[in-house]
């Protein structure tokens, strides 16, 4: 009986080692994704994304716009609704890691905090929506998309039969699709955390979108 248990244990151990060897990269990414928002590593994670997950570099195909520098000091205080905020206290309270102020074509203020730097590869989060919207504007101007009021299913037919059926590209770009999305980062089973785990394991995002 004992030898049989040893053989079973050895077989299971071998299978686990094979799985770890085959899916090593995905498991590492899953580990980092689960710990992405942990307070002891969140600043490092957000500033070193290529070290945590697989990324792809999109190289520019045309001229790159550059900004001039006209440094100016930040105001000591600013008004927020009916309150007067101390700028430095606000930067500390919000755990700011970087602040960039652009006016026209000039960078008037640029500062990094909490051990981060100007060459960090940061995760952009919702800023990516603005870039994506601009790309869709270019696609409309170039005639690649007739207009933004066409249904998203014209371009992603896999969404037919889901909550996105009948939703326009404009609705999606404006985040007015009507689709519920739980963005509670503290909830392990929220949509945002499920999305992260699917990406870490190399799964298809359509799993989450088709509902």
pLDDT digits (tens, 9 = 90+) for 97-154: 999 999 999 999 999 999 999 999 888 888 888 989 999 999 999 999 999 999 999 9
- Going from N- to C-terminal start, the domains of the chain cover 56-120
pLDDT at 6: 53
Q: How far is CA 52 from CA 138, 176, 177, in A?
A: 32, 31, 31
Instruction: Provide the pLDDT confidence category of residue 17 given band limits of 50, 70 and 90.
Output: very low
DSSP string, 7-56: HHHHHHHHHHHHHHHHTHHHHHHHHHHHTTT-TTTHHHHHHBHHHHS---
pLDDT at 19 over 60: no
Kindly tell me the burial class for residue 47, based on how many C-beta atoms sit within 10 Å of its own C-beta (0-12, 13-18, 19 or more): buried
Instruction: Single out the residue of 120, 127, 125 nearest to residue 48, CA to CA.
Output: 120
Q: How would you classify residue 14: left for phi > 0, otherwise alpha for psi between -120 and 50, otherwise beta?
A: alpha
Two tokens at 114?
């909490």
**β-bridge mates for residue 111, sequence order:** 99
Mean pLDDT, the chain, integer: 84
- Phi, psi angle pair for 94, to nearest 5°: -90, 5
Mean pLDDT score, 190-207: 79
Are residues 128 and 122 in contact, defined by beta-carbon separation less than 8 angstroms? no
Would you call 126 a catalytic residue per the annotation? yes
* Residue that is written with structure tokens 């053989």 in the block: 7
| CB of 191 closer than 8 Å to CB of 198 | no
Pick the catalytic residue from 39, 126, 130, 190.
126
Other C-beta atoms lying within 10 Å of the C-beta of residue 57: 6
The answer to whether the CB of 209 falls within 8 A of the CB of 159 is yes
- Which pTM value belongs to this model? 0.69
């Amino acid at each position: 009986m004992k030898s049989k248990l040893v053989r079973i244990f050895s077989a299971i151990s071998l299978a686990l080692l094979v799985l770890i060897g085959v899916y090593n990269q995905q498991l590492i990414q899953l580990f980092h994704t689960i710990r992405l928002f942990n307070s002891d590593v969140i600043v490092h994670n957000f500033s070193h994304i290529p070290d945590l997950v697989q990324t792809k570099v999109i190289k520019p195909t045309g001229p790159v716009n550059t900004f001039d520098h006209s440094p100016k000091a930040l105001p000591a205080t600013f008004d927020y609704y009916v309150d007067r905020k101390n700028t430095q206290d606000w930067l500390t309270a919000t755990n700011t890691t970087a602040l960039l102020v652009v006016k026209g074509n000039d960078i008037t203020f640029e500062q990094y905090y909490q051990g981060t730097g100007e060459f960090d590869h940061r995760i952009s989060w919702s800023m990516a929506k603005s870039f994506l919207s601009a790309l869709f504007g270019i696609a409309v101007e170039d005639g690649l998309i007739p207009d933004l009021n066409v249904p998203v299913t014209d371009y992603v037919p896999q969404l037919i039969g889901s909550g996105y059926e009948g939703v326009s590209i404009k609705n999606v770009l404006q985040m007015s699709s009507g689709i519920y999305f739980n963005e509670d980062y503290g909830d392990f089973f929220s949509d945002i955390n499920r999305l992260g785990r699917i990406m870490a394991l190399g799964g298809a995002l359509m799993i989450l979108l088709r509902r």
